[in-house]
Structure 1
């Protein structure tokens, strides 16, 4: 009998056990979330050739400090483990406070951020809007005429940005017979894909008997459609837009990647993989009102609208996520918490977070491999954890 390989010793399973059919399941997601490109097609988003990441900085004594986010106090380190954290990076006032990595993730590794991809895609929309190349109030059909026969035929880009399209679609993550499973096949994320492109799938979706703009409905195809809208408006592939408009000006230290479908369409709703440090840099750019490295990346007015003043409270209250942020709003694919500190965030399934507390000048990037795609009670604890961390650092 042969001994365990180094891979099996580190992850607890063999590489050949990780399949397209199970890569989002525990324990396989501890590896697959860092190696999306071995499972589905991906496209590169290059960083500047001269980019160099500063060394890892230990969180030190902070890991032993106690927080109370559930029924009993626990240390920061204990909560990170309990919440299936793979990596954590904290910034304060624009500087790195420290990093934490689980034993199965290395400093500098990329990790899929799932629906925080939506938030980064919306930044590209804000940049193009500032350049006069993209109109959020235009009908979707201005950019995609063939959407006329779908739910988007009478929707505005604004409805797409704010998840208020009246769309007959459910985010049924665990139902293999649902329209959501068909959607994942179109993205090449599930077995059986390759017969229908992401674009083709999206344009078959139909609407509900309710006007657009009234209810916040979290529907991921909206955000893949946003990627297509940006490509049509600019005449560029999304990967080129991301590199030229955000990744290089941001000063990202590492290459990013994004999943693509059979036509090469980027999975802008959830396919981006980045390092924790670079994700935190995005949050810091937003905290700085759209500035990074002494240059403006996105208009300040867009950032203010996205993180503080825009969005419909009424639409949010009618939505299904009000228990997470009872006074919240959703604007341009970012969540406004409604807290007194003005915090806002991007969120992805399986425990991906980019949390910005403007009052304490703290940015937190958390990447995880939670067993369940959605865990509402844990999400509430994670938000409380971020609030506590923001006071501690």
Structure 2
């Protein structure tokens, strides 16, 4: 890995998500935020890089609609790792010069999608009921927005909460939430509580639960706590035992934890791109015996289409829907998406799974997201 153009001491809790530091910190999150290990199999022999030769003919409209080649677009979109799998076999991969092949990369809200799958597995085993009230597992939500909501509404992001998802917030509720997770430095004059206490203090918003899709990260952090209480084990261990090892993930993953050890299920997982491709291929193969086919089919069922149409993420997938923390695009694809350019893309018809891990300077860039979707669809159509 080439040396970074800054000293390690310059990377702090205050700047680790900012350019240029993010190109290093996104692969070294455990050095910045306390983290728990998600053990992998550690038994599968790694293969060397393949390159992009299998996709040499791909062309699509990149940024600003200008035709782009795949290598140029990967560099332009600040990609760190990129993997394409067809019919369960890696056919192409790419890694930026600064990227460290030995380090897991933070996947931000793709973590939500892994949490959703873990919920499905635990439900299949009879350890979790999606139809139950959240309070059955976390009584501490009494008096909060979550007091009268179900686990399914939590996993579908259909909770009415008085909370704004604002990634660039520096002084409001979202910044205080990030301090509660351990992601931002504390303010001595205005200390934040631990993450669970913060979430259990969020009030209810306008309207009823289940009416509209409202993407709010504290929902999934609470979901991680629900899973721990339902199964009687820590989140990192549950994810390792029920999903990570089951798909044959080679490398250990990581998940950030707050000051009392609560896992950041909404965005704190770090993983290797090839191992994430195995997770995507699990969905392509309709569960492959690890999860029930019914749960996987439900992700495509579009049951929550009306709530999606009433929600706050309609622009990217106007004909889509959202179920158990996965995006259904409306065109036969599933996607897991995280800020700063993290993606898992699954297209069963072409037997394709794509993983893109990045250090994009903006948390959310709608124009770039649309270009990335065009790239994914061009690959699936090749």
TM class, shorter-chain normalised?
over 0.9
Match of 1:331 in 2: 323
How far does residue 106 in structure 1 lie from its aligned partner after superposition?
A: 3.0
**Maintained 8 Å contact 2:302/2:328:** no
Q: Is residue 300 from structure 1 mapped to residue 293 from structure 2 by the alignment?
A: yes
CA distance change for structure 1 residues 61 and 297 in 2, over 3 Å: closer, same or farther? closer
Query: Which of residues 117, 130, 133 in structure 2 aligns to 1:136?
Result: 130
**Maintained 8 Å contact 2:59/2:378:** no
Match of 2:36 in 1: 43
Give CA deviations for 1:170-209 in whole Å, capped at 9, x if unaligned.
1111111111101100111000078511100000001112
CA distance in 2, matches of 1:239, 1:31: 23
How far does residue 63 in structure 1 lie from its aligned partner after superposition?
A: 4.7
Q: Is residue 377 from structure 1 mapped to residue 377 from structure 2 by the alignment?
A: no
| 1:360-371 superposed matches below 5 A | 360-371=350-361
If the length of structure 2 is used for normalisation, what is the TM-score?
0.96
How far does residue 310 in structure 1 lie from its aligned partner after superposition?
A: 4.1
**Maintained 8 Å contact 2:84/2:90:** yes
SS in structure 2 at match of 1:87: strand
Q: Is residue 126 from structure 1 mapped to residue 120 from structure 2 by the alignment?
A: yes
Give CA deviations for 1:225-250 in whole Å, capped at 9, x if unaligned.
00000011111111111111011111
Match of 1:67 in 2: 60
How far does residue 46 in structure 1 lie from its aligned partner after superposition?
A: 0.9
Structure 1 gaps of 5+ residues are 1-6
Match of 1:53 in 2: 46
If the length of structure 1 is used for normalisation, what is the TM-score?
0.93
Q: Is residue 33 from structure 1 mapped to residue 26 from structure 2 by the alignment?
A: yes
CA distance in 2, matches of 1:161, 1:301: 16
SS in structure 2 at match of 1:279: helix
Q: Is residue 168 from structure 1 mapped to residue 162 from structure 2 by the alignment?
A: yes
CA distance in 1, matches of 2:115, 2:312: 23
Give CA deviations for 1:357-381 in whole Å, capped at 9, x if unaligned.
1111100000000000000111111
How far does residue 108 in structure 1 lie from its aligned partner after superposition?
A: 4.2
Query: Which of residues 323, 330, 334 in structure 2 aligns to 1:344?
Result: 334
Q: Which moved more, 1:354-363 or 1:64-73?
A: 64-73
